[in-house]
Amino acid sequence: MGKGQELYKKAKKIIPGGTQLLSKRPEQFLPDNWPAYYQKAKGVEVWDLDGKKYIDMSIMGIGACILGYADPDVDKAVSKAIQLGSMSTLNCPEEVELAELMCELHPWADMVRYTRSGGECAAVAIRIARASSGKDKVAVCGYHGWHDWYLAANLGDTSKLDGQLLPGLQPKGVPRQLKGSVLTFNYNKEQFDKILLEHGKELGVIIMEPARGHDAPLEFLQYIRKKATELGIVLIFDEITSGFRMTCGGIHMLYGVNPDMAIFAKSISNGYPMGIILGKKSVMDAAQESFISSTYWTERIGPTAALATIKKYRKEKVDVYLINMGKKIKKIWQEQADKAGLKLHISGIDTLGHFEFDYPNNLAIRTLFTQMMLEKGFLAWFQFKVSYAHKDKHYKLYEKALGEVFPVLAKCQKEGTIEKMLKGPIQTTGFKRLVD
Ligand SMILES: Cc1ncc(COP(=O)(O)O)c(C=O)c1O
């Protein structure tokens, strides 16, 4: 067992759930054998606690490092901000420059507020939207973090959020009085219409991801926009995952459908904590009538990192690069699967591609895939979040490794020996209590 797994065993005894983010639980990748902790990360390379180096062909800090780990330009700007003092009694001017930049990139918007994480952004946006519309009920489509307002959807029926990225989210500790305050829908007009029919009068907010695994149907987005305007409902697009992936700004700009508010977090500041709530003046003004205030929302590193990230992204047309490299990886997956005679189902918008092995024991095959790729020096999973630091040389090495691993998976699948090959349990999915 490596040092990382040893440390993780200790962590689970003193940190409930082991990590601070479900998606970083080693059990999701390779139970008992995932390196779990890193000592250094640069570009697309990650060094574990034993000094082993891996190429990250998985989720790149859960999509928080769009330019690659420890990007030199962002880090230079951040180092300067640290040297100049990251905090003071006065405010940092970067807040204003960033507000201007975000409004310039999104001409429909006039104002911003800031937080330092995505879930916080959603909570602030919901508060402002409720204050602005004067109506409490919220319709949600997608994943929007861990706060009470969102988990309230699962009060009474813990499966309501199951279709929205993470199944099994338990609302224990969320006040039961919030039951019925949040209603869920998918990219589906009947479900949305049912909410309008049953709760139309009390519905003050619609929050949705304009794209997740795939683009939302355009007519559906247009319909939601139309209904929100007609009924005086504030429409929020959650761009925390979809933003700055397919274009320099929110993905909604590609669709030509503008929300009243949009929220951004991990795609904007390359690994430094930052969250932006962007909105029309008519809605954002309500923030003055509700107490929304936090000390660390005023520190300097977040806005400095966001400015450096977005400016570099814009100047170097990172979106064009990401789309091209995203398409390439899908092609590599398909070609290698065909060569090996493996059935693979590939999906996802181009810069957030993923695949499933098209067999009933998909999870077991996925686990063996991650295990074998790890042995070859890759952090590899069924999802891949491409970054600006992924270059053709990394793809070539990955492609070669796939050329060796996929045929073994195909052979083991034929012989029924996938599970026999595993050195630990099958990877887990969704939220559940960890047993030691
Ligand atoms: C669409 C979306 N909303 C909200 C969040 C929550 O952000 P955070 O994990 O920074 O709290 C995420 C995180 O994955 C997300 O993808």
**What is the pLDDT tens value at each position of the chain, 436 positions in all?**
799 999 999 999 999 999 999 999 999 999 999 999 999 999 999 999 999 999 999 999 999 999 999 999 999 999 999 999 999 999 999 999 999 999 999 999 999 999 999 999 999 999 999 999 999 999 999 999 999 999 999 888 777 777 776 777 888 999 999 999 999 999 999 999 999 999 999 999 999 999 987 888 999 999 999 999 999 999 999 999 999 999 999 999 999 999 999 999 999 999 999 999 999 999 999 999 999 999 999 999 999 999 999 999 999 999 999 999 999 999 999 999 999 999 999 999 999 999 999 999 999 999 999 999 999 999 999 999 999 999 999 999 999 999 999 999 999 999 999 999 999 999 998 777 776 5
Ligand 1 centroid from CA 95, angstroms: 22
The span from the CA of 296 to the CA of 87, in Å, is: 9
CB 290 within 8 A of CB 139: no
Kindly state the DSSP code that residue 70 receives in the 8-state scheme: T
In order, the DSSP letters of 171-203 are -TTS-GGGTTSEEE--S-HHHHHHHHHHHGGGE
Q: Is the dihedral of CA 21, 27, 32, 34 positive or negative?
A: negative
Tokens of 384: 């891949």
Ligand 1 centroid from CA 262, angstroms: 13
Q: What is the pTM of this model?
A: 0.96
- Domains in the chain, start-ordered, CATH in brackets? 3-70+318-421 (3.90.1150.10), 72-315 (3.40.640.10)
Q: Is the dihedral of CA 388, 393, 399, 401 positive or negative?
A: negative
Instruction: Give the residue from 424, 377, 419, 429 showing the smallest Cα distance to 402.
Output: 377
Ligand 1 centroid from CA 232, angstroms: 26
CB 267 within 8 A of CB 245: yes
* Ligand 1 atom index nearest CA of 209: 1
Ligand 1 centroid from CA 297, angstroms: 17
Kindly state the DSSP code that residue 16 receives in the 8-state scheme: T
* Ligand 1 atom index nearest CA of 63: 14
Surface-to-core class of residue 419, CB atoms within 10 Å of its CB (0-12 exposed, 13-18 middle, 19+ buried): middle
Lining ligand 1 with CB less than 6 A are: 117-119, 122, 142-145, 209, 238, 240-241, 265-266
Tokens of 202: 């009390």
Ligand 1 centroid from CA 245, angstroms: 15
User: Could you tell which of 240, 263, 354 is best to mutate to test the pocket of ligand 1, judged by most ligand atoms within 8 Å of the CB?
Assistant: 240
Ligand 1 centroid from CA 240, angstroms: 6
Residues whose CB is less than 8 angstroms from the CB of residue 88 and which lie 6 or more positions away in sequence, other chains included: none
Ligand 1 centroid from CA 241, angstroms: 7
Which H or E element spans position 42? strand 38-42
Q: Helix H segments across 285-317?
A: 301-315
The span from the CA of 283 to the CA of 263, in Å, is: 14
Q: What are the distances in angstroms from CA 10 to CA 17, 36, 59, 409?
A: 12, 12, 25, 33
* Ligand 1 atom index nearest CA of 23: 14
Q: What are the distances in angstroms from CA 226 to CA 197, 200, 222, 239?
A: 15, 14, 6, 20
CB 371 within 8 A of CB 238: no
* Ligand 1 atom index nearest CA of 117: 10
* Ligand 1 atom index nearest CA of 62: 14
